[in-house]
Amino acid sequence: MCKLTCEYGNFRLTVMTAWLQLTRFYSPDSSFIYVCVGYGFFVQFTPEEAKTFINRKTELLHETAKQLSNDMASVRAQIKFVIQGLRELQDVEERT
C-alpha cells in the first residue's frame, strides 16, 4: 500500500512496510522524490512519475506472486504424487 498526496507544493507519503507498519513522510519540496528501484539504486521522479512507477511495480509484484503460488501448488502436487507412489511400492515389497 502506498499513498502519495500532493497539496500546495508539499507532499505526504504513506507506505505500508513488510511488517504492516505505516511509515509517513512529509517534505516541504515536492518537485522531485527519490524511489528505490532495486539493488540499492534510487531514481529521481516527479510525484506523478513515482505514482506510475509504483503502480506498475505493484502490478508486476502481484503477477510474480501469482506465478509463484501456481508453481508452489504444482510442486506440492508432484511431491504428493511421489509420496503416494512410494507408499504403493512399500506395500508391494512388504507383501512379497
Under a CB-based contact definition with an 8 Å cutoff, are residues 1 and 15 in contact? Answer: yes
Domain ranges of the chain: 2-95
Q: Is the pTM of this model over 0.75?
A: no
The grid coordinates of residue 84 equal: 503416494
Q: Which residues are registered as beta bridge partners of 5?
A: 12
The 10s digit of each residue's pLDDT in 64-84 is 999 999 999 999 999 999 999
- At residue 68, the pLDDT reads 96
What are the start-end ranges of the E strands in the chain?
2-7, 10-16, 22-27, 33-38, 41-45
For 44-71, what is each residue's pLDDT tens digit?
Answer: 898 889 889 989 999 999 999 999 999 9
pLDDT at 96: 44
* Higher pLDDT pick, 23 / 46: 46
